[in-house]
Amino acid sequence: MIKLTNVSKEYAKGGFALRDVSLHVKKGEFVFLTGHSGSGKSTTMRLSHMAERPTSGEVRVTGYTSDRITQRALWKIRRRVGFVFQDFRLLPGRTALENVSFVLEVTGTPRKDIVPRAQRLLTRVGLTPKAGSLVHELSGGEQQRVAIARALANSPYVLLADEPTGNLDDRATRGVMDLFWDINANGMAVLMATHDLELVRRYPKARVLELDNGRLVYDSAAA
């Protein structure tokens, strides 16, 4: 699914964000990527869907390799990899349904299928009654579930989530985690970055990776 081999990432102004990281997220796995703030989690997540290229080493994502990547391949990757952020990044002033419909539109879904499919996706995340609500009228947990519905729109092979519960209270966190767990139980790989170790401990069946200062220092699958 996602394979990093000896990946380093150096920023012109930030020095090394990652140093010689190798990791492999396999089909159907649930993986937490943990580490203190600044340890390189978000950098790993961006490299994992080729929003950025490594300084050295190689990234493979759903069959594509970072050292010979075309614009066409990037579009394919956008469809094969769903992405969820801490701050939701929904279109403001639009409804939940419009937010999900929008990605279906830009990825070429036949017009007549868009609304029914967006509605199904909102049902999948438990938001049927909120489809017509403007996103700013929704709670944080509900907004994140709209973002998850959007991320699932193109039936990705893997879901990446960068601190998806960082802005949520306990109850909303549980709702979002239950949803990720259920999505994973249906076969989708999930890679979730979080600094919240208490949350990670609640899911002892998940695989845990830990970054420290840009280096991978722990992998529960190798322990």
Ligand X SMILES: Nc1ncnc2c1ncn2[C@@H]1O[C@H](COP(=O)(O)OP(=O)(O)O)[C@@H](O)[C@H]1O
Among 4, 17, 21, 158, binds ligand X (CB under 6 A): 17
Q: Judged by CB, which is closer to ligand X: 17, or 179?
A: 17
Q: x-or-dash pattern for ligand X, window 163-182, by CB under 6 A? A: --------------------
Told to check if 41 binds ligand X by CB under 6 A, we report yes
Residue 77: is it exposed, middle or buried by C-beta count within 10 angstroms (0-12/13-18/19+)? buried
Among 24, 28, 38, 126, binds ligand X (CB under 6 A): 38
What is the nearest approach in angstroms of ligand X to the Cβ of residue 17? 3
State the pairing for strand pair 56-61/2-11.
Answer: antiparallel
Among 6, 14, 107, 129, binds ligand X (CB under 6 A): 14
Question: Three-class SS string for the chain?
Answer: CEEEEEEEEEECCCEEEEEEEEEEECCCCEEEEECCCCCCHHHHHHHHCCCCCCCEEEEEECCEEHHHCCHHHHHHHHHHEEEECCCCCCCCCCEHHHHHHHHHHHCCCCHHHHHHHHHHHHHHCCCHHHCCCEHHHCCHHHHHHHHHHHHCCCCCCEEEEECCCCCCCHHHHHHHHHHHHHHHHCCCEEEEECCCHHHHHCCCCCEEEEEECCEEEEECCCC
Told to check if 86 binds ligand X by CB under 6 A, we report no
Told to check if 11 binds ligand X by CB under 6 A, we report yes
Told to check if 78 binds ligand X by CB under 6 A, we report no
Among 5, 42, 55, 213, binds Mg ion (CB under 5 A): 42
Q: What is the dihedral of CA 66, 192, 83, 58, to 10 degrees?
A: 0
Told to check if 57 binds ligand X by CB under 6 A, we report no
What is the nearest approach in angstroms of ligand X to the Cβ of residue 42? 3
Told to check if 39 binds ligand X by CB under 6 A, we report yes
Separation CA 215–CA 222 (nearest Å): 15
Told to check if 43 binds ligand X by CB under 6 A, we report yes
Q: Could you say which of Mg ion, ligand X, none residue 17 binds, taking C-beta under 5 to 8 angstroms by partner kind?
A: ligand X
Q: Which residue is nearest to ligand X (CB)?
A: 14
Told to check if 5 binds ligand X by CB under 6 A, we report no
Give the interface segment with Mg ion, choosing from 4-12, 40-48, 56-64, 71-79 (CB under 5 A): 40-48
Told to check if 154 binds Mg ion by CB under 5 A, we report no
Q: Using CB under 6 A, list all residues that contact ligand X.
A: 11, 13-14, 17, 35, 37-43
